[in-house]
């Protein structure tokens, strides 16, 4: 059997590759980092099992599946990969579509693969179309953080947060028009916000990649990162490799980040 795994996170691709390598029923597989490449590949050759991340830049996993349902006659068995249990479980279990949660547990991935390989092409298509219809009827969920402030709870969209800065035993969530304080460590908040596109550029600073306007060389081995609000941050040598997560395609990135 042929398999294809699509995920924009390198660690997840590596984990999926190790799992697929260990299976005797997978004769060959390919690992891709975006849905556009996957769509092009699936137009050229038949794949029996497709493991695909839901949240990816430019084209999501759900959009890829919808495109496949209109273009591919032999629909592969699909296993959705997601970090968001609340987005997946109810819809997917209702239609008995396979999914696995990040961080990946190998035994759970193997279980999903066992189910996926047994499905007929007709069953795959019917189940996937049912899931897509189910999700279409649901309003998009906004990713938010709930903050207690002066006796009330305020909901802040992750997309509105520009930066997170350490402040003693607290962290400061900075927006365009204000800020909020949370009792969290930088390590804890960095782990929670990584799936939302936040990168660490300093031991005490996280930046929302969507708000970055430019980066340029600074003094010594540092870089200067400028947000769309005009504020600049120093990127230390320790964290400069994280800057590559700001874009899916770089021109001349090896020269830029060298040294």
CA-to-CA distance for 70 and 207, rounded, in angstroms? 38
Beta-strand (E) ranges in 60-185? 77-82, 98-101, 144-149, 152-157, 163-167, 170-174, 179-182
Task: Report the CATH number at residue 61.
Answer: 3.40.50.2300
Q: Identify whether residues 130 and 166 lie together within a single domain.
A: no
Q: Identify whether residues 184 and 237 lie together within a single domain.
A: yes
Type and span of the H or E element at 37: helix 35-44
Nearest 10 degrees: Cα torsion 63, 35, 105, 209: -90
Give the domain range for residue 232. Answer: 144-256
Q: Identify whether residues 91 and 50 lie together within a single domain.
A: yes
- β-pairing, 152-157 vs 198-202, is unpaired
Domain-ending residue, one of 136, 163, 179? 136
pLDDT by position in tens, the chain (length 259): 899 999 999 999 999 999 999 999 899 999 999 999 999 998 888 888 999 998 888 888 888 888 887 765 567 888 888 887 665 554 454 343 578 888 899 999 999 998 887 775 556 566 667 666 766 666 555 678 888 877 788 888 888 899 999 988 889 999 988 888 888 888 888 888 888 889 999 999 999 998 999 988 877 778 899 999 999 999 988 888 888 878 766 665 554 555 5
Q: Identify whether residues 18 and 125 lie together within a single domain.
A: yes
Among candidate residues 65, 14, 25, 68, the one with its CA nearest the CA of residue 44: 68
Q: Identify whether residues 118 and 34 lie together within a single domain.
A: yes
Q: Identify whether residues 148 and 240 lie together within a single domain.
A: yes
What is the count of structural domains for the chain? Answer: 2
Task: Report the CATH number at residue 236.
Answer: 2.40.50.1020
Domain-ending residue, one of 104, 136, 168? 136
Q: Identify whether residues 83 and 180 lie together within a single domain.
A: no
Total residue length of the chain: 259
Q: How far is CA 239 from CA 187, 213, 244, 257, in A?
A: 14, 18, 10, 11
Q: Identify whether residues 182 and 153 lie together within a single domain.
A: yes
Q: Identify whether residues 94 and 149 lie together within a single domain.
A: no
Domain-ending residue, one of 108, 136, 164? 136
3-state secondary structure of 233: strand
CB count in 10 Å sphere of residue 126: 14
Residue 243 phi/psi, 5° resolution?
-60, -25
CA-to-CA distance for 199 and 223, rounded, in angstroms? 14
Q: Identify whether residues 10 and 128 lie together within a single domain.
A: yes
Q: Identify whether residues 131 and 165 lie together within a single domain.
A: no
Q: Identify whether residues 213 and 251 lie together within a single domain.
A: yes
CA-to-CA distance for 30 and 15, rounded, in angstroms? 13
* Contact predicate 214/198, CB 8 Å: no
């Amino acid at each position: 059997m042929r398999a294809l795994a699509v995920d924009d996170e390198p660690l997840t691709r590596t984990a999926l590759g190790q799992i697929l390598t260990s299976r005797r029923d997978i004769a060959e597989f390919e690992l891709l980092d975006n849905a556009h490449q996957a769509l092009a590949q699936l137009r050229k050759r038949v794949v029996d099992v497709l493991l695909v991340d839901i949240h990816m830049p430019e084209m999501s996993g759900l959009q890829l599946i919808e495109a496949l349902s209109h273009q591919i006659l032999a629909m592969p068995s699909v296993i959705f990969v997601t970090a968001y249990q609340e987005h997946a479980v109810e819809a997917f279990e209702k239609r008995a579509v396979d999914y696995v949660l990040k961080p990946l547990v190998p035994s759970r991935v193997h279980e999903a693969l066992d189910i996926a390989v047994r499905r007929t092409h007709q069953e795959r298509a019917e189940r996937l179309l049912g899931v897509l219809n189910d999700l279409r009827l649901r309003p998009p969920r906004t990713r938010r953080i709930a903050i207690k402030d002066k006796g009330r709870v305020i909901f802040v969209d992750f997309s509105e947060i520009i930066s997170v800065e350490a402040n003693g035993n607290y962290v400061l969530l900075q927006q365009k028009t204000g800020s909020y304080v949370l009792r969290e460590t930088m390590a804890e908040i960095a782990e929670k916000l990584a799936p939302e596109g936040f990168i660490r550029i300093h031991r005490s600073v996280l930046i929302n990649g969507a708000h970055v306007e430019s980066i340029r060389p600074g003094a010594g081995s540092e870089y200067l990162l400028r947000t769309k609000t005009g504020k600049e941050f120093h990127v230390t040598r320790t964290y400069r490799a994280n800057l590559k997560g700001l874009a899916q395609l770089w021109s001349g990135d090896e020269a830029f980040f060298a040294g």
